[in-house]
Amino acid sequence: MWLMVFFDLPTKTKPQRRRANRFRESLKKDGFMMLQLSVYARVCRGQDAVDKHVRRVRSSLPKEGSVRTLQVTDKQYGRMELMLGNAPKTESVGASQMVLL
């Protein structure tokens, strides 16, 4: 199962940027990988792990902005298509995709 976090945080002032960066760092520290600038994802082994990581995301929420989570199965995640532009070296475009952590 995959847990995805989508967020839109204000970054106009220096304190806002600092809070947004702290939030991003907390996601990375918890094992999330960046898919796009404001989209992070991680693999979870079952619903208990998803619940644990959602609690961790809630505990590090900044006071402004919006944060959403979405859980998808491995099969659903595998059907994601990367379109437009070139894939970075850490990503491959193709029907069979595997991420080893």
Which residue in the block uniquely carries the two structure tokens 């619940």? 51
**Annotated binding-site residue? 74:** no
Q: What is the bridge-based pairing of β-strands 33-36 and 39-43? A: antiparallel
Q: What is the pLDDT of residue 83?
A: 84
What six digits make up the tokens of 23? 């939030």
Q: What is the CATH number of domain 2-78?
A: 3.30.70.240
Q: pTM of the entire structure? A: 0.79
CA distance 69 to 30: 14
What is the residue-averaged pLDDT of the chain? Answer: 89
Phi-psi sector, 85: left (phi>0), alpha (psi -120 to 50), beta: left
pLDDT reading at 90 higher than 80: no
Taking the C-alpha atoms of residue 27 and residue 7, their distance in angstroms, rounded to an integer, is 11
List the domain boundaries for the chain. 2-78
